[in-house]
Structure 1
Amino acid sequence: MPFFPPLFSNRFRSSPSLVSPRLTFLNFHNYPSTTPEFRAKTLESNPSIKTPDSVDFDPSTVAETISSYANDWKRALDFFNWVEKDHRFEHTVDTYNRTIDVLGKFFEFDLAWGLIGRMQERQPISPDHTTFRIMFKRYASAHLIKEAVDTYDRTADYGLKDKTSFFNLIDALCEYRHVIEADELCKKMGSEFSAEHTKMCNIILRGWFKMGWWSKCREFWEEMDRMGIARDLHSYSIYMDIQCKSGKPWRVDRFYKEMKKKGIPLDVVVYNTVINAVGLSDGADESIRVFREMMEFGCQPNVVTYNTVIKILCREGRIRQAYVFLEQMHNKGVPPNVITYHCFFRCLDRPKEIMKLFERMVKDGCRPRMETYVMLIKKFGRWGFLRPVFIVWDRMKEHGCSPDGFAYNALIDALVQKGMVEMARKYDEEMLAKGLSAKPRRELGTKVLSDESDDECR
């Protein structure tokens, strides 16, 4: 029988540990370096740990832990039920919503509706607009348009069938490239929201933008004019972004001047678009000029502003100057986000420098995304450096992120490239056991379907 300090109880010792056994003997509440979600996951995976406050989970800790299981809906739901049943945790709307989001991501809509029903039963909390925005988003991402519209009708049962829910539905449809259906729905029900025509048109315009149908964007922009629908700050912001993405950044200056002429107050979003546009058309120096101009007019840059300038500088190979703006962010109280660091990771070409910046990113409290880990694993794997590949892989697990299919495939590709076929096969089997889709590889005994067809033809 292993020794447990008096602080711990070994009442529940049936669940397998997901962390090193030595953590079982640590009073991790005294270690400030551990994150709240790590402490919650350690408690979940080590029922033998029973601390004085283990029955009093912080809602934000529970919410973050659920989000860390974004790629494993079963574990997310098990954790959700475990803290409620075994530790009498009273779930909040946020913890419900996060679990519903994970379930919807894996098309477990019946289970998601079951949680909505449970939420409704357990007053004083009840489903809110965010709950149904999540459902709209997940149905739209699964291309279940009828179900998304039916969900809007069901919001009436919860007293939430209003313009907010309608706009959330339209926005979700546009976000997942169902703009034609969203446009038809607006024409059908638009009269109910006539006072909000500009907002509705902005959502549709952004939808055509996401589709990349530039001619349709132009037609819709001109149609707004013919219909007498006023263009506001957001309309111009979206359309100027369209000009940038469609390869015509030089046109942004015309709309920029038009806004000034109309007396529309310029905000940081507009300036961010202009900074990006002039950077694309005239280079980084022009972007920096507009950056300084916005500050002179009293508009303070945000993290997107800095990211835009840093991205343009990195693209031009002006890394040192990009680092100067990174330091400015710290000095001005604008914390860098994951996009900031991605700008550097994409252009840096020295593994030591990348890893140093990655460690700084984590130390500064900027939580890497799954995209971050995949990007670095691919980059190091392409260069043939396996040591940093496994450092990043281990950091991903330490940070409480469950690897997705892209992460597994990036790691397996790196191993196959170095001829470590047996180890690659082990990870291939591990991802298949989790229900993730593995990439066909000849080295592991799998072939692309078209290759098999060719063999049969021969």
Structure 2
Amino acid sequence: MPFLFVLHRLCLVFPRHRTFHTPSSTPPIKFDNDTILATLSSYSNDWNRALEFFHWLSSTPGFSHSSATLTATVDILGKHFEFDRAWSLLSSFPSLPDRSTFRSLFNRLAAARLVSDALLALDRSAAFGLRDHQTFLQLIDALCAHRLTPEAYDLCFKNPPFSVNCDTKAHNLLLQGWLKMNWWGQCRRFWEEMDSRRVEKDLHSYTIYMDVVSKSGKPWKAIKLYKEMKNKGISPDAVAYNTVIQAAGHCDGAERAIRLYREMLDSGCKPTVATFNTIVNLLCSEGRVNEGYRFLGEMKKMGFEADVITYHCFFRHSSRPQEILWLFERMLATGCRPRMDTYVMLMKKFGRWGFLRPVFKVWKVMEENGYSPDSFAYKAFIDALLQKGMVEMARKYDQEMLSKGLSPKLRKEFETKLVSGLSEDEDNNINSVNAANYEQVMPG
């Protein structure tokens, strides 16, 4: 059911009173769950509106909320630190909260660094029949995801509500948490602790620790762990292969990575887009861009489309403007949506090379795709304009940037006019010259 059509029938919004209301003359509406969730998502930055919409639905005859709609609303309230309202809502619908509801609540409390409140939430989950080992692991996961691994560690091993001494999953969550904090020494100590506690290391344990040693500058250890894992009879999955392929590439170059990729195929493990991106990036970084394109063709044969990371590999390592423009147009034609850092990267590249027309093209595409430029985009664009001497146009965008609350960069080109004391006629002449330059460089 089309979202806008349903939303138009679903709610009448009065701008002055900002209330939802169902006309008495219309028959009961059949609500589409996906549309309701999409509507709640559209109110993610306005908790008051989201809560009002939730209650309006509750009062509608024939409608019953689901765990999904409750969880979505609780998540929005948590995003805005309205935890008291979230608990009030949970208490009003005691049969609806499920594990996903508490996972969302734990994540929001951990993001706000309210560790004691998160522990209290674990205790309060008992009222909904959810206080168990699985919910406890959700809490540990949330704490680790938000760089609160020391607190999660203490909770697990200092008077824990549930024992995790030989729990592989709990240890994997903590190991992942230390990795997220880049505490390499603690990762190594914890890996050894797992042995001393006789925790059985599984595929996820090895995958996480291979990532640890690779990112800490010891990729050869990741290859050693990969062999150890296989000797134990643990079959790697796509994530494990991707990790060791990356490590092998950093250690021995793209050829070793490609051999592991072939081994991956022979084992029956299907690669992912990340697998191809890793190899393409390794080939491009070695100057083997044409081989990277051939691998892109192999990627397509296996049913995968290049994503934004794939294109970034080529953009980053290509030194031919025409090739980059062709890739950018192909990216758009295939429906791969550029990110803000894509636009910034391209504008910086073309700006450094002194090609202003492509910079305007990238800026125009960015605006057409609905992106509001951030400070990095403005700075890259202004740098390109100043390099071509278009001071007044650059000044206009600098002021626009300032009006949006973004911090501009101090530039001597803008200070020059302030101290030179140009007359109004001279100023107008400069504007005319810059306008003529703009007409010359602006694409068709």
> Deviation of residue 198 (structure 1)?
1.2
Q: 1:33 matched to which residue of 2? A: none
> Deviation of residue 307 (structure 1)?
2.2
> Deviation of residue 120 (structure 1)?
6.2
> Deviation of residue 284 (structure 1)?
0.7
For the Cα contact (< 8 Å) 1:310–1:340, is it kept in 2?
Answer: yes
3-state SS, counterpart of residue 201 of structure 2 = coil
Alignment equivalent of 1:421, drawn from 375, 385, 395: 395
Q: 1:265 matched to which residue of 2? A: 235
CA–CA distance in 1 between the matches of 2:69 and 2:398? 36
Aligned pairs for 1:34-49 (under 5 A) are: none
For the Cα contact (< 8 Å) 1:311–1:343, is it kept in 2?
Answer: yes
Q: 1:451 matched to which residue of 2? A: none
3-state SS, counterpart of residue 219 of structure 1 = helix
Structure 1's 303 and 68: CA in aligned 2 closer, same or farther, altered over 3 A? farther
Q: Does 1:387 align with 2:360?
A: yes
For the Cα contact (< 8 Å) 1:214–1:246, is it kept in 2?
Answer: yes
Deviates more, 1:221-230 or 1:308-317: 308-317
Q: 1:13 matched to which residue of 2? A: none
Structure 1's 40 and 280: CA in aligned 2 closer, same or farther, altered over 3 A? farther
Deviates more, 1:374-383 or 1:349-358: 349-358
Q: 2:344 matched to which residue of 1? A: 377
Q: Does 1:152 align with 2:122?
A: yes
1:411 maps to a residue whose letter is A
For the Cα contact (< 8 Å) 1:84–1:91, is it kept in 2?
Answer: no
> Deviation of residue 186 (structure 1)?
0.6
Q: TM-score, normalised on structure 2?
A: 0.72
Structure 1's 65 and 209: CA in aligned 2 closer, same or farther, altered over 3 A? same
The number of residue pairs the alignment matches comes to: 384
For the Cα contact (< 8 Å) 2:401–2:408, is it kept in 1?
Answer: no
1:313 maps to a residue whose letter is L
Alignment equivalent of 1:288, drawn from 255, 258, 272: 258
Q: Does 1:176 align with 2:143?
A: no
1:408 maps to a residue whose letter is D
1:409 maps to a residue whose letter is S
Q: 1:11 matched to which residue of 2? A: none
Aligned pairs for 1:237-316 (under 5 A) are: 237-316=207-286
Deviations 1:275-299 (CA, angstroms, capped at 9, x unpaired): 1111010011111111001111211
Deviates more, 1:255-264 or 1:278-287: 255-264
2:177 maps to a residue whose letter is G
2:363 maps to a residue whose letter is F
CA–CA distance in 2 between the matches of 1:68 and 1:316? 44
> Deviation of residue 365 (structure 1)?
4.9
Ranges in structure 2 where 5+ consecutive residues have no aligned partner: 14-28, 386-390, 415-444
Look at both structures and tell me which one has the larger radius of gyration over its CA atoms: 2
Ranges in structure 1 where 5+ consecutive residues have no aligned partner: 1-28, 30-35, 48-54, 433-437, 447-458
Q: 1:21 matched to which residue of 2? A: none
Structure 1's 396 and 182: CA in aligned 2 closer, same or farther, altered over 3 A? farther
2:376 maps to a residue whose letter is A
Deviations 1:212-242 (CA, angstroms, capped at 9, x unpaired): 1212111111111112111111111111111
Q: 1:439 matched to which residue of 2? A: 407
> Deviation of residue 325 (structure 1)?
2.7
1:109 maps to a residue whose letter is F
> Deviation of residue 61 (structure 1)?
5.2
Q: Does 1:114 align with 2:85?
A: yes
1:242 maps to a residue whose letter is V
3-state SS, counterpart of residue 109 of structure 1 = coil
Deviates more, 1:316-325 or 1:200-209: 316-325
3-state SS, counterpart of residue 217 of structure 2 = coil
CA–CA distance in 2 between the matches of 1:426 and 1:40? 38
Q: Give identity over the alignment, percent.
A: 39
CA–CA distance in 2 between the matches of 1:421 and 1:139? 43
CA RMSD in angstroms, aligned pairs only? 4.0
CA–CA distance in 2 between the matches of 1:239 and 1:161? 30
